[in-house]
Amino acid sequence: MNEAQQLTLPWPVVGAVIIGAVSFTVFVLTNWWNGERERLTRSREVFSKAYVAVQEYKEFPYVIRRRRKDTPGEERIRISSELRRVQADLAFYSAWLMTESRHVHRSFSELLEQVRRVAGTAMHEAWLEPAAEDDSSMNMPKLDMSALAPLETAYLGEVADHLALWPRWVRRLFRRNTNE
């Protein structure tokens, strides 16, 4: 046999190797893409549930103010049990967000700290007020939660940055250039 005959591979073998390599590459990329989509779906769900827990906490000044007057002991137990559940949710999501993204966690922590300050003070004041007896006493005119809006927007912005296709720094750069 000469040298030319030794180096020649049958075309079906070459074709099979190429098809196998392409198929394997498609398989790996498909599995990676599906895993990435599952991760993003899970992250979206966790981020939104953390936000819901903050919103539930914000409602407690109203819950306390609108408690039933005829069963004060039962209402204290009911409200404190609900508040304990929400506090546990907040702690759970805070810990989870720490593992998902330090940027999202930092933003969530800042929001949570301010929510606890504003809503916690309002809860304290609501407990000092008598329970609502009629429709006119359902309002809480002194309660102003507008200071929370920028922190909520910042949290949702960090979530959007984390879930985006483009890296965080590219989105920030683009956002800064469009705001000028």
pLDDT tens readout for residues 89-142: 999 999 999 999 999 999 999 999 999 999 999 999 999 988 888 877 777 767
> Greatest CA span in the chain, whole angstroms?
105
Give yes or no for residue 5 having a pLDDT over 70. Answer: no
Give yes or no for residue 179 having a pLDDT over 60. Answer: no
Cα distances (angstroms) measured from residue 102 to each of 38, 94, 99, 110:
20, 11, 7, 12
Average pLDDT, the chain: 86
Contact of 132 with 138, CB cutoff 8 Å:
yes
CA 65 – CA 83 distance, rounded (Å): 14
Give yes or no for residue 176 having a pLDDT over 70. Answer: no
Domain boundaries, the chain: 49-164
CA 68 – CA 75 distance, rounded (Å): 7
CA 172 – CA 180 distance, rounded (Å): 13
CA 118 – CA 57 distance, rounded (Å): 11
Q: What is the pTM for the complete model shown?
A: 0.76
Give yes or no for residue 41 having a pLDDT over 90. Answer: no
At 114 the pLDDT is 97
Give yes or no for residue 8 having a pLDDT over 80. Answer: no
Q: Residue 116 is which amino acid?
A: R
At 138 the pLDDT is 74
pLDDT band at 173 (very low <50, low <70, confident <90, very high): confident
Angle (CA) 39-114-67 rounded to 5° is: 100
Contact of 147 with 118, CB cutoff 8 Å:
yes
Percentage above 70 pLDDT, the chain: 90
Contact of 54 with 90, CB cutoff 8 Å:
yes
- What's the average model confidence in pLDDT over 65-92? 94
For 85, the token pair is: 């559940």
